[in-house]
Amino acid sequence: MSRVREEPWGQIEYDPKSDAFVTHTSDGESVISVGRPLSAGCLLTGRCNLRCTFCYGNDEALPNQELSEAEWRHAFSRLKSWGLMRVDLSGGEPTLRKDLPEIAQGAVDAGLNVILSTNGIPLHQTGPKQLPLSTRIHVSLDSGFASVHKNSRLLRSLLPSSDSFEKTGAFIRKSLDQGYRVRIMTCVGRHNCEGLFQLGEYIATSGVAEWNISRVLKAGRAQADYERRWQVDDAALLDQIHNMREAYPWIRIRYSNRTQQEGYFLLVLPDGTLATQWTDGRDKVILGKLLEMSLDDLRKHPDFNLDTHSRKWLVGIS
């Protein structure tokens, strides 16, 4: 459901179909300044069935303690009271939580739009059918070549995940069959930058109409030896994306070349700690306890950049 937030200069509308925040100014000329955050990534768990070497989540650096379903409901109410319109349920791997459907419903009940970010493997047999149907499903897929995907999605033993490509594909098909809106999420590094066209072909025949391509973030496990392992040539990547947009015009292909984070993402860690992401060597920076902070505390925190947060999310703001 579309959400609208009133501002002194007009309105912000979140469109769940496009997953975009759009501004509507009352006079067409107002200076847009947002004093409240728009979206948060809620890391429901640090646990994961995989151990990918470029994971920004980096479960070993996340709290082991996890909020209960009831505590997440309180957290969602607090976020909504701050003006948030959207939450992204992630981890770790959020589908490892048996109470995920109830947590997602708690966010919907609070008046928030919900995204689930997953590798799809734990629910490959059932799909996400127990989640609210309004949930957007974002699925990580690294390549159209099964061998490349399997070698980048490592098991906890650090061996390639031999059946991950097939299981993720099965989850995608079930999600579409059950009526969910699906977006493929691809992090690009040297491990997969040469095979994007194959992935485009896979997506084009799958029925998915949205694809988000981003550079591997210099955070979490990917901080180690980043330039050698994950840095790619932006011009060559943009050339591939241009060709794919021409070849598959019915797929909405988004691209983000940001590899740096400067305190503009708002994160809720598994234990309810509020954090943000920096890529200056500090990685996740703690802001405080969500249920103990006020909105004014967040606004004044030196490590959270609300202006940059706004520019990240609002369409047409530079």
Question: Identity (one letter) of the amino acid at 150?
Answer: K
Task: Judge whether 205 lies within some domain.
Answer: yes
pLDDT tens, residue by residue, 276-285: 998 888 889 9
Q: Report the number of distinct structural domains present in the chain.
A: 1
Per-residue pLDDT tens digits for 153-202: 988 888 889 899 999 999 999 999 999 999 999 999 998 998 899 999 99
Sign of the torsion angle spanned by Cα atoms 224, 226, 229, 230: positive
Q: What is the pTM of this model?
A: 0.95
pLDDT by residue (tens digit) across 26-44? 876 677 889 999 999 999 9
Q: What is the dihedral of CA 136, 74, 106, 122, to 10 degrees?
A: 60
- Measured on CA atoms in the order 229, 231, 235, 238, is the torsion positive or negative? positive
The confidence score (pLDDT) of residue 257 equals 82
| pLDDT at residue 227 in the model | 87
d(CA 290, CA 75): 7
Q: Check which CATH number belongs to the domain holding 98 and give it.
A: 3.20.20.70
CB within 8 A of 82, min separation 6: which ones?
A: 36, 37, 295, 298
For the stretch 48-95, pLDDT in tens is 999 998 888 766 778 899 999 999 999 999 999 999 999 999 999 999
List, for residues 106-124, the tens digit of each pLDDT value.
999 999 999 999 999 999 9
| Structure token digits, residue 195 | 């095979």
**DSSP conformation class of 76:** H
Say if 227 falls within a structural domain: yes
Contact 142, 153 (CB under 8 A): yes
Residue whose C-alpha is closest to residue 265's, from 5, 3, 40: 40
Instruction: Kindly state whether residue 24 falls inside one of the protein's structural domains.
Output: no
Residue 285 lies in a domain: yes
**What residues contact 165, with CB distance under 8 A and at least 6 apart?**
146, 149, 150
Evaluate if residue 316 carries a pLDDT over 60.
Answer: no
Is the sign of the CA dihedral 224, 225, 230, 234 positive or negative? positive
Asked if 229 contacts 190 with a C-beta cutoff of 8 angstroms, the reply is yes
- For residues 138 and 187, is the Cβ–Cβ distance under 8 A? no
Average pLDDT over residues 225-229: 86
The model's confidence at residue 315, banded by pLDDT at 50, 70 and 90, is low
**What pLDDT was estimated at residue 318?**
42
Per the CB < 8 A criterion, the answer to whether 116 and 138 are in contact is yes
Range of the domain at 90: 37-303
What's the CA dihedral at 78, 84, 90, 96 to 10 degrees?
40
> Tokens 């501004």 sit at which residue?
23
Asked whether residue 7 is assigned to any structural domain, the reply reads no
Question: Does some domain include residue 128?
Answer: yes
How confident is the model over 293-312, as a mean pLDDT?
Answer: 94
Q: Indicate whether 2 pLDDT > 80.
A: no
Establish if 171 belongs to a structural domain: yes
> Phi-psi region for residue 249, left (φ > 0), alpha (ψ -120 to 50) or beta?
alpha
All residues at 6 or more sequence positions from 301 whose CB lies less than 8 Å from its CB, including other chains: 287, 288
Residues 232-268 pLDDT 10s: 888 989 999 999 999 999 999 999 887 778 889 999 9
Which amino acid type is present at position 34? V
By the 10 Å C-beta count (0-12 exposed, 13-18 middle, 19+ buried), 26 is classed as exposed
Cα distance between residue 172 and residue 169, in whole Å: 5
Would residue 90 count as lying in a domain? yes
- Residue 222: pLDDT over 80: yes
